[in-house]
């Protein structure tokens, strides 16, 4: 399962600064609106300290973290859907992501231009969400047109699709975001092929000044209140500071972060929050060749989890041998875990737990 997240927000709020910090990809960031024109795409390793813990006991050539694709696009402005600013044509790059990272400016700095002249996170969020809603409306209108003919001819599936599109259109026209509505499984299935942006889970990224890393300002408060009211998450970070952290070697980084009272880097916090938001969890495989982290949905059974390694594994799954990272720390080798009776043998019904270390036995 490879995960993708798309960054949206007003121009000049720090999207590319944050993208650079998390990908260290060297994408351009500068103090003028519409600095980013072509989308930046980066692949980021998901930091997971447990990989190194496992590696401390099991020697392998390779350690492979999970990865997330991150997409940074041009800023949106009011009227983007009708071509204002750079328009909304870059939103296509966000469509095939699993989650939206909505960067909101929460730092005061008169040197950095704000496209509305004042820093008002709540108003900024509204502008962006309206534009995203209008983009979805455009997609729905086209899809509606496409199915209408078949619906009029009496095709049952097309009638259901058309009616679902109508419900979605009404919801957006009333100013709502599609994620806020409860959808039946069948409705979800009808909407899924449209890759609607406001249907995706959103994480608000409050980009704060370097003297408000804890996010105590009323600006961040406004973002938190909005996120709480809409069932979304918030990550507080400073793009500027994260850029510095990304550029440091590990020893300096640890000291710098400790001085600032930061326990985790912005990337770590973003990764954890995104996993929470999407209901994801991690399991590990640790063999002779490599130690590797795999991303699955919470609640998945062992065969389904094995299917992430290779699609055939789901069908051919026989059983799994499972232990935890803590078991490894306590007993030090797999043989000792087994001797202590801690190596669990699990079958097709087993529901994976966070941080399981697995060997899958696969048939032919």
With CB under 6 A as the contact rule, the residue among 239, 266, 303, 307 that binds ligand ATP is 239
15 lies in the binding site for ligand ATP (CB under 6 A): yes
* Sequence-ordered list of residues with C-beta below 8 angstroms from that of 265, at least 6 positions apart, any chain: 47, 242, 245, 246, 253, 257
What is the smallest separation between the CB atom of 222 and Mg ion, expressed in angstroms?
Answer: 23
User: Of ligand ATP, Mg ion, none, which one sits near residue 13, judging by CB under 5 to 8 A according to partner kind?
Assistant: ligand ATP
23 forms part of the interface with Mg ion (CB under 5 A): no
Question: Per-residue contact track with ligand ATP, 146 to 165, x per CB under 6 A?
Answer: --------------------
Residue indicated by tokens 């009776």: 341
| Site membership for ligand ATP, residue 75 (CB under 6 A) | yes
Minimum CB separation from ligand ATP for residue 11, in Å? Answer: 4
Q: Tell me, residue by residue from 111 to 130, as one string, x for binding to ligand ATP by CB under 6 A and - for no binding.
A: -x------------------
Q: Write out the two tokens for 323.
A: 């232990």
Which is nearer to ligand ATP, 86 or 305 (by Cβ)?
86
**8-state DSSP, 74:** P
207 is in an annotated binding site: no
User: Which region among 30-38, 195-203, 214-222, 283-291 touches Mg ion (by CB under 5 A)?
Assistant: 30-38
Q: Which is nearer to Mg ion, 34 or 214 (CB)?
A: 34
93 is a contact residue toward ligand ATP (CB under 6 A)? no
CB atoms within 10 A of CB 286: 22
**At 248, is the secondary structure helix, strand, or coil?**
coil
How many whole angstroms separate alpha carbon 92 and alpha carbon 101?
15
Q: Does 89 engage in binding with ligand ATP (CB under 6 A)?
A: no
The binder of ligand ATP chosen from 6, 12, 21, 127 (CB under 6 A) = 12
Say how far apart CA 337 and CA 330 lie, in whole Å.
8
Measured in whole angstroms, the distance separating CA 133 from the mean position of its chain's CA atoms is: 19
The yes or no reply on residue 16 touching Mg ion (CB under 5 A) is yes
Structure tokens at 288: 């002779």
CB of 314 closer than 8 Å to CB of 306 = yes
233 binds ligand ATP (CB under 6 A): no
Indicate the residue among 100 and 199 with the shorter CB distance to Mg ion: 100
Indicate which single residue of 52, 83, 96, 109 sits in contact with ligand ATP (rule: CB under 6 A).
109
- Contacted entry of Mg ion, ligand ATP, none for residue 17, CB cut-off 5 to 8 Å set by kind: ligand ATP
Told to check if 74 binds ligand ATP by CB under 6 A, we report yes
Residue 12 contacts Mg ion per CB under 5 A: no
DSSP secondary structure string for all residues of 128-181: HHHHHHHHHHHHHHHHHHHHHHHHHTT-HHHHHHHHHHHHHHHHHHTT--GGGS
According to DSSP, the residues that pair with 294 across neighbouring strands are 283
Q: 345 among the known binding-site residues?
A: no
Chain-centre distance for alpha carbon 182: 21
Reduced to 3 states (helix: H, G, I; strand: E, B; else coil), residue 359 is strand
**Whether 50 contacts 325, CB under 8 Å:** yes
Q: Does 11 bind ligand ATP (CB under 6 A)?
A: yes
Closest to Mg ion by CB, 35 or 316? 35
- Judged by DSSP in three states, 44 sits in strand
- Compute the distance between CA of residue 260 and CA of residue 340 in angstroms, rounded to an integer: 43
Nearest 5°: the CA angle 10, 13, 14 is 130
- Which positions touch Mg ion (CB under 5 A)? 15-16, 35-36
- Which positions touch ligand ATP (CB under 6 A)? 9, 11-17, 29-31, 33-36, 74-75, 107, 109, 112, 207-209, 238-240
Pick out the residues of the known binding site for ATP: 12-17
Pick out the residues of the known binding site: 12-17
């Amino acid at each position: 399962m490879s995960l993708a997240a798309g960054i949206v927000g007003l121009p000049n709020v720090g999207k590319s600064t944050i993208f650079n910090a998390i990908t260290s990809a060297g994408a351009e960031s500068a103090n003028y609106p519409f600095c980013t024109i072509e989308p930046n795409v980066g692949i980021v390793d998901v930091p997971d300290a447990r990989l190194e813990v496992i590696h401390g006991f099991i020697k392998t050539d390779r350690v492979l973290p999970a990865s997330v694709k991150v997409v940074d696009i041009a800023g949106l402005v009011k009227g983007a859907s009708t071509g204002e600013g750079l328009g909304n044509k870059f939103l296509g790059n966000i469509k095939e992501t699993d989650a939206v990272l909505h960067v909101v400016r929460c730092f005061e700095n008169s040197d950095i231009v704000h496209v509305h002249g004042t820093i008002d996170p709540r108003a900024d969020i509204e502008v962006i969400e309206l534009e995203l809603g209008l983009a979805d409306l455009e997609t729905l209108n086209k899809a509606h047109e496409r199915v209408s003919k078949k619906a009029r001819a009496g095709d049952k599936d097309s009638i259901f699709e058309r009616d679902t599109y109508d419900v979605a259109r009404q919801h957006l026209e009333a100013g709502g975001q599609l994620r806020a509505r409860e959808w039946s499984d069948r409705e979800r299935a009808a909407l899924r092929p449209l890759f609607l942006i406001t249907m995706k889970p959103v994480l608000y990224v409050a980009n704060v000044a370097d003297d408000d890393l804890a996010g105590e300002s009323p600006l961040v408060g406004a973002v938190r209140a909005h996120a709480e009211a809409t069932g979304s998450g918030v990550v507080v970070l400073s793009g500027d500071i994260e850029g510095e952290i990304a550029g440091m070697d590990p020893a300096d980084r640890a000291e710098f972060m400790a001085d600032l009272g930061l326990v985790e880097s912005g990337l770590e916090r973003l990764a954890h929050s995104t996993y929470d938001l999407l209901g994801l969890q991690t399991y590990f495989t640790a063999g002779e060749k490599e130690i590797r982290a795999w991303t699955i949905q919470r609640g998945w059974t062992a065969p389904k989890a094995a299917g992430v390694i290779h699609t055939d594994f789901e069908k051919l799954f026989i059983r799994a041998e499972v232990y935890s990272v803590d078991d490894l720390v306590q007993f030090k080798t797999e043989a000792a875990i087994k001797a202590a009776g801690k190596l669990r043998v699990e079958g097709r019904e087993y529901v994976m737990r966070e941080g399981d270390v697995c060997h899958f036995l696969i048939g032919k």
